[in-house]
Copies of this chain bind each other. A is one copy, B any other.
């Protein structure tokens, strides 16, 4: 019987763009005992989590709650709840996750138009606004930070244009919320989705989202009530009904409202973890937290450059939570990653599609985003590159990062 072998979880330093390490307080929260989903002790945790989410997502929206699923579950819930057959959707793609939006949106039955940037660049807001005026879509869906290329798209001007043109603005902010500024309301974002396993630093498995009245008005028109729940049969506008039960935001909203209309059984332990993770963020303070992410990223970048490696992609649009490095010619990127993991217990990431085998990606997200981790990663990466026969400036990387940190400390910037 295999039952006798306990779980083996080796110690890791996780420097990928997710999943990242989790504060011990979050892991401990998840190990609490179960509460029933309609137990007032549990519904009060649900309500508190909504309020914590509003603060972290910088919104006054009434609706802010998690989808029980990984990040793309939240994206699909948002998109399939607002898209009806034949709706026009415009998607600017500047990396893998723009194409994921395209794929999800197409499957929802939308007529999708994409505009594309070479991986490593982002759009000028003007380019997108021109396309909005030309295509006149119902929805503009786009990624805020695309981890596949490490680029971040400025959103405020685009949001403003959407509002003026009465276009719904849906944003995938999975890789940025909790690590860098994301101003849902100020940037005119109508629906925003994030994930737990990146800068929120909670295990993968929930996708918090928020939406405003512009989205809610669509939900109201498409709403139906589950038949087994009520005595009378409800009128269902079958043609306009949301194509998924699990992702039906109108039903989920009823479940998260004081009505508590039964839908799924809320994921107890994950909600404990999310609740604790959000509290940790607000205890640290959003501004402090973003500053900590910037300082650690810049120390990492200083080290990478000092080693003689080249950063990939447009510098102005670099995500502060992901650093992409061009793999030097002749180096097998996967062998380097494997040695980092096997010998040092440190994980960094590769990339996808046109960048597969061409770049490494180092994440500095959430609880993983610490001075200690940055220094250990730089030292280990240098050692592995030397062992792989790559010519680097020996001994410089860690020193450059240490110097950066002491400057930052002098300026009283947040480090951790």
Contacts and interface: CB of A to CB of B under 8 A. Distances in A.
B32 A231 contact: no
B39 A347 contact: yes
A237 interface: no
Contacts of A275: 7
Interface string A261-282: 0101111111011011001101
B282 A3 contact: yes
Contact of A267 (B5, B41, B70): B70
A238 interface: yes
A7 to B, nearest CB: 6
A410 interface: no
A96 B226 CA distance: 9
Interface residues of A, number: 98
A246 B72 contact: yes
B39 A33 contact: no
Contacts of A247: 246
A403 interface: no
Stoichiometry (number of copies) = 2
Interface stretch (A98-106, A120-128, A319-327): A98-106
A22 interface: yes
Given A30-B31, A31-B31, A107-B241, A36 B7 contact: no
Nearest to A202: B269
Interface in A263-303: 264-270, 272-273, 275-276, 279-280, 282-283
Nearest to A44: B8
A10 interface: yes
B2 A246 contact: no
Interface string A11-40: 110101011111000011111111111010
Given A19-B37, A246-B247, 6 more contacts: A27-B33, A70-B246, A70-B264, A71-B265, A205-B267, A228-B353
18 contacts: A2-B279, A3-B283, A5-B279, A10-B41, A19-B36, A19-B265, A20-B34, A21-B33, A27-B33, A30-B31, A70-B246, A73-B73, A100-B245, A107-B241, A203-B267, A203-B269, A205-B270, A229-B352
The 10 A-B residue pairs with the shortest CB-CB distance, nearest first, are: A96-B228, A205-B267, A3-B283, A99-B228, A203-B269, A31-B31, A70-B264, A99-B227, A69-B69, A27-B31
Interface of A: 1-5, 7-12, 14, 16, 18-22, 27-37, 39, 41, 45, 48, 51-52, 68-73, 76, 80, 95-100, 102-104, 106-109, 148, 195, 197, 203-205, 226-231, 238, 241-247, 262, 264-270, 272-273, 275-276, 279-280, 282-283, 341, 347, 352-354, 356
